[in-house]
Amino acid sequence: MPIKGVLFDVDDTLFDYSGAERAGILAHLRDLGLLERFPTPQAALTLWHDVMDAQYARYLAGELTFRAQQLERTRRFLAHLDRDGAEHLTDDRAAAWFAGYAAHRDAARTAFPDALPALTRLAPHYRLGVVSNSDTDHQRRKLAHIGLLDHLGDVLVCSEQHGEPKPAAGIFHAACAALGLPPHQVAHVGDNYALDAQGARDAGLHAYWLHRAGAATAPAVPVAEGIRVLHTLDDLPRALTP
C-alpha cells in the first residue's frame, strides 16, 4: 500500500532545538555573570545537557510534570555551581530563572532550512502531522513561531496529553488514527534512532531516521532492517515514493 501520511518529530528534526538551546543557555549565563564559572562555554553546555537529560527522562517516565522538570533542571544546574540553597529554590524563583533562559532560547528559535521546503512539497500529496515527546501547547507555539504550524495540518500528538511517550506504539497509533490512516500507510520521520526510528518501525509505520550529520559522521549504531536513513529533509519526498 502506498504511503498516504507523514508524521514528524519536532525537536532537531524540523526545529533546530540544539542550536537554540546552546544560544539560550550561554546568553543567559553570560547575562548573569555565571559563564565565567566554567572553564569553557562547552563545559557549561555539557552540564546543562546532562541535567536536562536526567530531568526530562523523569518527565517522560511520569515522575514530573512538564513545568516541574523545568524547575528541577534549574535547581540541579545551580546546585552544581554550589549556589547556596539552589536545591531548595522556591518554584517562583526557579521559574523566573528558567524563564530568563527560555527568553534567550526562544529568540534564537529557527526551523532547519530544509523543513519548510519539504513540508511545502509534501502537503498537497500527504496528510501531515506531528508526534512529539513534549507538551502540545508548547510545541504548537514553537511551530507557529518558526512558521511551520500551518503546513502540518491539525494532527499534533504529544506525550503530555496522550499519556505515554515515544517509543511506545500507542502514541504512534494515536497519531495515525488522528490522520485517519492505518499505520502501514504512514511514515514517521525523526532524528532519534531509538525513539523515532525503532519506535515507528516497531509500531508498524514506515520508519525514516534523519541522521543530519550525514557521511561526515557514521551512525553510532548499526541501522536495523526496516529503517531508512535520510541526511536531509530535501530527500524525503523522493524517498516516500516507491
Q: Which three cell numbers stand for residue 127?
A: 496528510
Q: What is the pLDDT of residue 127?
A: 98
φ, ψ at 221 (rounded to 5°): -130, 150
Beta-bridge partner residues of 157: 131
Which DSSP symbol is given to 38? S
What is the chain's Cα-based Rg?
Answer: 19
Q: Is 84 exposed, middle or buried (0-12, 13-18, 19+ CB in 10 A)?
A: exposed
Amino acid at 84: D
Question: Using CA atoms, how far apart are residues 199 and 181, in angstroms rounded to an integer?
Answer: 18
User: Which grid coordinates are listed for 40?
Assistant: 569553557
pLDDT in tens, the chain (242 residues): 799 999 999 999 999 999 999 999 999 999 999 999 999 999 999 999 999 999 999 999 999 999 999 999 999 999 888 765 677 789 999 999 999 999 999 999 999 999 999 999 999 999 999 999 999 999 999 999 999 999 998 999 999 999 999 999 999 999 999 999 999 999 999 999 999 999 999 999 999 999 987 655 556 667 889 999 999 999 999 999 87
- Residues 81, 37 contacting (CB under 8 angstroms): yes
Q: 3-state SS string over 152-164?
A: CCCEEEEHHHHCC
Closest C-alpha to 133, from 220, 194, 75: 194
Give the pLDDT score at 223.
Answer: 87
Rounded to whole angstroms, the Cα distance separating 196 from 227 reads 10
CA–CA dist 179, 156 (Å, integer): 10
The residue to which cell 503546513 is assigned:
151
pTM for this prediction: 0.90
